Amino acid sequence: MPHHPHAVRASQIVFGILFSLVLLNWAAIHFGLVEVPPNTIPWDRPLLDARPGLFAHWQMQRLKTDQQMCRTALNRARDLSYTPLADMNADSDCGFTDVVRATKTPIAFNIAPVTTCSLSAALYWWQRDVQRLSRQILKTKIKRIDQLGTYACRNINGAATGNRSEHATANAIDIEGFETEDGRRITVKDDWLKATPEGRFLRAAHDSACTVFGEVLGPDYNNLHANHFHLDEAAWTMCR
């Protein structure tokens, strides 16, 4: 059935108006005529000391491919210090590039994380929100985060065959638990799903991680994650 010329013309007019509005908004933002909150524009360099926006995962993926942008983002974060590490090739599927050891973080770790630059940026965002959630739910602050490891040359789930894990490129970290300033020890193994402030905090921390990391896997995913949260900066997203 042929299109009515008036309908086609009307569609063209609507499209032209919408395109013009998008172009005007872009120009206003680009030339500084309109101020928008930090981390609102997906192509901008992320500001880690401001809360992440809707495009957090997309921004972290940009940091994965732009070392200069990533290092600049880390350098601007007031509660972060790091040491760059040399690239390392273990074999054709294992090793890492653009990796840092975080020597100062918003919350201390039991072991200083050695991660890709973009994962370090995502961890910074997440730690800041973890502290907010702790004050809100636990009425105290988190003193330390306990992690089980980052780099490991192995396959997904430690299988004998299959694809390499994000751990094989230092693009993942496993979080076992938290220690609070008032002396509580909160672990994924012991407190997950409990109807307690500790259990609610773990659920909130898990859900918060899903806003900035690619994959977030915990006890609800499989038994291999019964004692930790797996956080990585994969290109795809999964929150389980």
pLDDT at 42: 82
Q: What is the pLDDT of residue 184?
A: 97
Residue 53: CB atoms within 10 A of its CB come to: 19
Q: Which residues contact 210 (CB under 8 A, 6 or more apart)?
A: 216, 237, 239
Give residue 12's pLDDT: 60
Quote the pLDDT of residue 162. 81
| pLDDT range class, residue 170, cuts 50, 70, 90 | very high
Mean pLDDT, rounded, for 103-126: 98
Look at residue 101 in the predicted model and tell me its pLDDT: 98
Mean residue pLDDT across the chain: 89
Task: Report pLDDT for 93.
Answer: 85
**Cα separation of 139 and 129, whole Å?**
14
Q: Please tell me the predicted confidence (pLDDT) of residue 74.
A: 98
Unique residue bearing structure tokens 């992320």:
46
pLDDT at position 143 is 98
Element (H, E) at 130: helix 117-133
Prediction pTM value: 0.83
pLDDT digits (tens, 9 = 90+) for 86-108: 999 877 789 999 999 999 999 99
CA end-to-end distance (rounded Å), the chain: 48
Q: Minimum mean pLDDT among 93-107, 149-163, 204-218: which range?
A: 149-163
- The b-or-e profile of 144-166 (16+ CB within 10 A means b, else e) is ebbbbebbeeeeeeeeeeeeebb
Give domain limits for the chain.
Answer: 1-35, 43-239
Read off the pLDDT of residues 9-53 as tens digits, 9 standing for 90 and up: 655 665 566 545 445 444 444 555 556 788 888 888 899 999 999
Confidence at residue 21, expressed as pLDDT on a 0 to 100 scale:
45
pLDDT tens, 54-84? 999 999 999 999 999 999 999 999 999 999 9
pLDDT at 206 over 80: yes
Report percent pLDDT > 70 for the chain: 85
| Integer Cα distance of 148 and 183 in angstroms | 20
Residue that wins the pLDDT comparison between 97 and 159: 97
